[in-house]
Chain A
Amino acid sequence: MSALARAGIVAAILLSSSVAQAKPTSAQVLAQVERNYAAIRDYSADVEVAINSPQVHAAKTKATIYYKRPNKLKLVAREGFAVLPRDAFPGNPVAAIRANFDVAYGGSGKAGGEPVHVLKLVPKTSQAERTMKLLVDKRRGLIVGTEAEFGAAKFSSRWTYVRVDGRYWLPSQIKVEMSGAMSRPVFDPDEIKVVPPKSGKGTALVTFSNYRVNKGIPDSVFTEKKNRK
Chain B
Amino acid sequence: MKTCIRLEIFKLTRKLRSYLGFGALAAMAGLVVLGLARGRPPFEASFEQGFVTVGSYLNGGFVAWFLLRMVMMFFLPVFACVVVGDMISGEAADGTLRALLSRPVGRGSLFVAKFAVSVLYVIALTLFLGVAAYAVGAIFLGRGALATFQEGTMLGAQGIYIYNEGEGLVRLLGAYGFASVAVLSVATIAFFLSSVLTNSLGAIGGAMMTFILFGVVGAIDYFKPIHPYLFTTHMDSWRGLFLTPVPWGQVVKSLGLLSAYIVVFFAAGLAIFRRKDVLS
**Residues of chain A whose beta carbon lies under 8 Å from any beta carbon of chain B:** 51, 53-63, 75-77, 79-86, 130, 148, 150-151, 153, 155, 178, 182-189, 191, 193, 195, 198, 227-228
Contact of A81 among B44, B52, B59, B161 (CB under 8 A): B59
A58 with B158: CB separation less than 8 A: no
15 contacts between A and B (CB under 8 A): A53-B50, A59-B163, A62-B164, A75-B54, A80-B142, A80-B143, A81-B147, A83-B45, A83-B53, A83-B162, A85-B50, A150-B48, A155-B50, A182-B49, A195-B158
Q: Is the interface of B mostly helix, strand, loop or mixed?
A: loop
Q: How far is the CA of A53 from the CA of B52 in the complex (A)?
A: 14
B23: chain A residues at CB < 8 Å are: none
Q: How far is the CA of A82 from the CA of B163 in the complex (A)?
A: 10
Contact of B54 among A155, A193, A227 (CB under 8 A): A227
Contacts A77-B145, A193-B151 hold; do A83 and B44 have CB atoms under 8 A apart? Answer: no
Contacts A80-B56, A189-B44 hold; do A86 and B49 have CB atoms under 8 A apart? Answer: yes
B39 within 8 A of A: no
With both beta carbons as reference points, the residue of chain B lying nearest to A84 in the complex is identified as B52
Q: How far is the CB of B52 from chain A (nearest CB, A)?
A: 6
B149 within 8 A of A: yes
Contact of B50 among A59, A79, A153 (CB under 8 A): A153
A57 with B143: CB separation less than 8 A: no
A60 with B144: CB separation less than 8 A: no
Contact of B55 among A55, A183, A185, A227 (CB under 8 A): A227
Q: How far is the CA of A77 from the CA of B45 in the complex (A)?
A: 15
Contacts A185-B43, A185-B44, A227-B56 hold; do A81 and B145 have CB atoms under 8 A apart? Answer: yes
Q: How far is the CB of B150 from chain A (nearest CB, A)?
A: 9
A187 with B57: CB separation less than 8 A: no
A77 with B55: CB separation less than 8 A: yes
Give 6 closest A-B pairs by Cβ, nearest first.
Answer: A80-B144, A58-B162, A77-B55, A79-B145, A150-B49, A55-B159
| 4 extra A-B contacts, CB within 8 A, seeds A81-B162, A82-B162 | A82-B54, A84-B54, A186-B45, A189-B44
Q: How far is the CA of A82 from the CA of B54 in the complex (A)?
A: 5
A80 with B145: CB separation less than 8 A: yes
Q: How far is the CB of A115 from chain B (nearest CB, A)?
A: 29
